[in-house]
Structure 1
Amino acid sequence: MLNQHSLEEIAEIYNLLGDIKKEYKAGIKPILMQNSSKLFNNPHTIPKLKKIVVNRGLGVSAQNTNILKKNLEEFEKITGQKPVVSRAKKAIAGFKIREDMELGISVTLRGEKMYTFLTKLLFFTFAQIRDFRGLSLRSFDKAGNYTFGLKEQLIFPEVEYDEVDQVQGCTINIVLDHNSPKYRNESIDKILNGMILFKFLRFPLNDCGYYDKYDSFAEINRTWDKKRHLKRKRWSQE
């Protein structure tokens, strides 16, 4: 028999599955303002999704018209938006790369398409990954954005197995809009904001327990400072 906590979780998942944008405005924002009033006393300081960038590097293979065309069609199926071709900004003779040479494809999702893609990613795509152990917290950058890679395109429901000539992955960058006040504008604050938002959005973060032994983020900062100091000391001795 399900307990109350399980029923609440199921209700949250169904709300997110129905409409993430609506649930964020009507459910997540009021809860954050009520339960974390010291952090989010102003609704504009609550972190929110800004855009999702999906890209794939093709390298020299992008010069093959058929390969490039097939990748463009595949990305359009996956994201629901026509991708753009990424080009080299400068020539690199060692890698046989010319200036303005086609090297990959990229899609930037905003608005409804962004939320649609995120819903598919959270509730359908991750479930297709074999031996999936969750996403790492260490994939947050200093700006509080989150980047991770997927090894193959077959986990997306739009991709047919028979149509795939070569297994290729992609990189997904989730950009957040923080709007934090100046006294909470450090990297650790932005990462904390991202962790809080991802928890409410049901992101499968796997190593949250790594930080349970610390009482505060100030202690985590001190620990990482010690590690950086030890690394510098070791490098100086080599």
Structure 2
Amino acid sequence: MRNPHSREEKAEINRLLDDIKKEYEEGIRPVLSINNPTMFGNPHKIPRLKKIQINRGLGLAAQNTNILKKSIEEFTKITGQKPIITKSKKAIAGFKIREDMELGLTVTLRGQKMYAFLTKLIFFTFAQIRDFRGLSVRSFDKAGNYTFGLKEQLIFPEINYEDVDQPQGFTITLVMSSPSTNGTTFNNVLNGMVLLKFLRFPLNDSGYYEKYDSLEEISQVWDRKKHLRRKRWSQE
């Protein structure tokens, strides 16, 4: 394991801070292509971050104009982009929800805004979380996208403590590129882990897989776990 205070480590962080998109194009992509031509020999198979989706569910509180307006202002400050108000698709009487009822907010970031938000998230925002121990590697979905939640908005530097009436969190999804529709869940998750590791995303349990010598061993472990889950479900 490298010394976290080495010159190489500091230089890598400075490059990412300077321009994370440029570092991906000129640094990360060539390294993946050269070091693992079997997996990433085709440039279209190299994992890529397509967009970042940020969502906040307000529920019935969205009917309060002041709460909705303040949430829109917070989203605009944090992301640099005005959010879209999400509405219900159908009525649910048990939850007092009517059709086309305002329930939350969503923002989709692409291009330069996406990379600017990612840089802020990795190097500044996570450091503001008390007792932060990293994010779980188990939050990938079958397509290799990574979703996690933040409990409050105060960890972002754009938000002033005096302006917050109550802590409100949101869900953030990092949407990865899908090189092929035939890609297995294992390959999609592996591609997502590789990309986030190069971007220095704080995955706290990714080191679990370092004890295996090859991708084949990791794949076998996944297959055994899948078999055990199926066996358990069949017995229930």
2:154 alignment counterpart: 154
Secondary structure of 2:131's counterpart equals coil
Alpha-carbon shift at residue 44 of structure 1 (Å): 2.0
Matched residue, 2:109? 109
- CA contact 1:45–1:181 (8 Å) conserved in 2: no
TM-score (norm 2): 0.93
Q: 1:137 matched to which residue of 2?
A: 137
- The match for 2:52 is 52
> Does the C-alpha gap of structure 1 residues 228 and 31 become closer, same or farther in structure 2, counting only changes over 3 Å?
closer
Q: Partner of 2:200 in structure 1?
A: 202
Amino acid at match of 2:34: Q
Deviations 1:29-68 (A, max 9, x none): 1111111111111222211110000010000000001110
Aligned to 1:172: 172
Q: Note closer, same or farther for the CA distance 1:180–1:124 as it changes in structure 2 (3 Å cut).
A: same
Asked if the contact 2:143–2:178 (Cα under 8 Å) also holds between the matched residues in 1, the reply is no
List gaps (5 residues or longer) in structure 2. none
C-alpha contact (below 8 Å) 1:46/1:178 kept by paired residues:
no
Offset at residue 176 of structure 1 (A): 0.8
Matched letter for residue 73 of structure 2: E
Structure 2 CA distance for aligned equivalents of residues 62 and 37 of structure 1: 50
Q: Name the CA distance, whole Å, in 2 between partners of 1:115 and 1:232.
A: 39
Return 228-237 or 21-30, whichever deviates more.
228-237
Residue number in structure 1 paired with 2:25: 25
- Kindly indicate whether residue 73 of structure 2 is the aligned counterpart of residue 73 of structure 1: yes
Q: How big is each residue's C-alpha offset from its partner over 1:193-215, in whole Å with a ceiling of 9 and x where there is no partner?
A: 11111111010111012223334
Aligned residues: 235
Provide, for residues 144-202 of structure 1, a one-character-per-residue CA deviation record: whole Å limited to 9, x for no partner: 000000011000000000000010111000001132485xx111111111111111101
| 1:108-165 Cα shifts (integer Å, max 9, x gaps) | 0001100110010011000100000001110110000000000110000000000000
Identity across matched positions, percent: 70
Quote how far apart the aligned CAs of 1:104 are.
0.3
Q: Distance in 2 between matches of 1:41 and 1:237?
A: 43
1:220 to partner: Cα distance: 3.4
Structure 1 residue 217: Cα displacement: 3.8
Find out whether 1:190 has 2:188 as its counterpart.
yes
**Cα distance between partner residues in 2 of 1:94 and 1:216:** 52
In structure 1, stretches of 5+ residues that fail to align are: none
User: Secondary structure in 2 aligned to 1:38?
Assistant: helix
How far apart are the structure 2 equivalents of 1:237 and 1:187?
A: 25
Instruction: For residue 224 of structure 1, report the CA deviation from its aligned partner.
Output: 3.6
The 5 A counterparts of 1:115-126 are 115-126=115-126
